[in-house]
C-alpha cells in the first residue's frame, strides 16, 4: 500500500476568537475486517483508529474510529482561535504507524 497521504484544509488567516472549520482527509483503505478476497479468505482488519488535532500542544478535537468509517477517512470539525499558532494533526494506524502533518494559522 502506498503511504497514506494526509490532506488538511485550514484557513491561513482568521480574526481573534473566530471559530474556523478544519477539513481533513487521509488516503487509507480502512480495511474493515469484514470483507473477503477472491479466494474467500477474510481480509484482515486495518483501519486508522485514532485521529487527533492539537493547537500549540493543546488538544482541540480527537476522534476514535471504528471499521464503519469510510475508506479515505474524512473529518470536518471546528476550532476557536485566539492567537497565531500551529495545528498538528495525527492519525494512528492499526499497525502502529503514525501519520502527521502541521498547518500554521495567522490570527489578527
Binding site for other proteins (CB under 8 A): 19-20, 32, 34-37, 40, 43, 55, 58-71, 73-80
Residue 79 and residue 13: Cα distance in Å, rounded?
13
Nearer to other proteins, 56 or 100 (CB): 56
* Shortest Cβ 85–other proteins spacing (Å): 11
Task: Answer whether 30's CB lies under 8 Å from 73's CB.
Answer: yes
* Shortest Cβ 20–other proteins spacing (Å): 8
Residue 75's φ and ψ, nearest 5 degrees, are: -135, 135
SS3 assignment, position 3: coil
Residue 65 and residue 47: Cα distance in Å, rounded?
8
Nearer to other proteins, 74 or 106 (CB): 74
* Shortest Cβ 97–other proteins spacing (Å): 19
Amino acid at each position: 500500500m502506498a503511504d497514506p497521504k494526509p490532506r488538511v484544509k485550514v484557513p491561513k488567516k482568521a480574526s481573534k476568537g473566530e471559530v474556523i472549520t478544519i477539513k481533513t482527509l487521509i488516503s487509507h483503505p480502512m480495511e474493515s475486517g469484514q470483507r473477503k478476497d477472491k479466494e474467500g479468505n477474510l481480509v484482515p482488519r486495518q483501519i486508522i483508529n485514532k485521529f487527533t488535532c492539537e493547537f500549540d500542544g493543546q488538544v482541540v478535537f480527537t476522534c476514535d474510529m471504528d471499521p464503519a468509517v469510510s475508506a479515505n477517512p474524512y473529518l470536518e470539525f471546528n476550532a476557536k482561535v485566539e492567537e497565531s499558532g500551529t495545528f498538528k494533526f495525527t492519525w494512528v494506524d492499526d499497525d502502529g504507524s503514525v501519520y502527521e502533518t502541521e498547518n500554521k494559522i495567522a490570527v489578527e
